[in-house]
Amino acid sequence: MKLLSKLTLILAMTMGAVSVAATDTTVSDKTMKAMGVFLSNFTECGLYDTTREEMTADNEKLLDFAICHLRINAWNSSFSPVPGCEIGDEEKCPHGDHMVAADKVARVVKKYLDYDMKKHSGNSQYYYKDGFYYIYAADGEQTMNAVARKVRKLDNGNFEVSSSLFNTETQDKPKTSDIHMVSVIRPYVFESKNTWSLVSTKLLVDIGDIDTEPEIDYSQFNPASNPKFPGFWEDDVTGKSSLEIMDGGDGVYTVVVSHAMGASERVECTYHGKLENNMYLKLGESLKCVSIESQDDGSPDRMTVAESEFIETMLINKKGRLIIPIPCDEQDGSEVKMCEEPYQRVKRN
């Protein structure tokens, strides 16, 4: 091969490792789900920003990942009690009350990173001796799982997967389709089965900014589709509260909530809301909240900053009433029981 051709080949290979072209790829729902499950094996162990190179260069990171994975997904089949040890008895069992074989740890590393973990030693968390790692049994922490939203096939055969994250303790699925993480995975065969190994994964948002609050079911209020929110609404029970909803276009609304606190005082809070599922008006935190006091002598109203009231959702039921779901005064059981605060549409001159 001529020198120029060799240089061209080396340059092409180097450039390909740095920047790889991609095309959008259509994959089946089954494959998308499987990709999300594969990535969840990393996110549930707190691995959102890492690469295969970083992990395989640090035996401690490999060990932390593998033992975390086995704790969550294969506790009963992987860990056995240390003979003569009571759970949590650190005095009698200073290295741990359960043990797991090193070959099980190595298998996890091979399966998910396509890397042969040949060196086995303990670290600050796990003691190692004679082919076993020793740990203490502990309650699991809340974990984040991934749902694949978009897949692109790279020219080198790898896949770039964009995912949403959700908290498995409080949610069954992500609240939105927002992309929280982008990962690259490589197809390969493990124990005669087609799967992937991780190349890299990168978190695009602060993990604390992901909405992990449980989804509340509002179907009990019989929400209407294609609701018409704009206009004036008045509290259907006391008449002391009112709403003015203005359409800002593109499914975004401005909502002014007014509560009468007395004959001459009211509190007004302004929110921005967004129509979701063509059914619910989801409100963000209040933009401003003021207390307005009318003056008997005709002087201008006195306005002071007031504490905001959080309102999450509004809907219009099939009877045409606007409903603000609120937690009921009396609660029983682990799930939040919701009651309705109804409003009726009113005409204003």
The residues near 240 (Cβ < 8 Å, ≥ 6 apart) are: 259, 260
Fold adopted by 219-346 = Lipocalin (2.40.128)
pLDDT of res. 10 = 36
Q: What is the signed CA dihedral for 31, 35, 37, 42, rounded to 10 degrees?
A: 170
pLDDT grade, residue 202 (50/70/90)?
very high
* Residue 16 banded pLDDT, cuts 50, 70, 90: very low
**Tokens standing for 237?**
């029970």
pLDDT of residue 213: 77
- What value does the mean pLDDT of the chain take? 87
Helices (H), the chain: 3-18, 29-43, 52-56, 59-73, 75-78, 102-113
| CA distances in angstroms from 10 to 2, 14, 292, listed in the order given | 12, 6, 73
Q: Say if residue 60's pLDDT is above 50.
A: yes
Picking from 158, 219, 163, the residue whose alpha carbon sits closest to that of residue 186 is 158
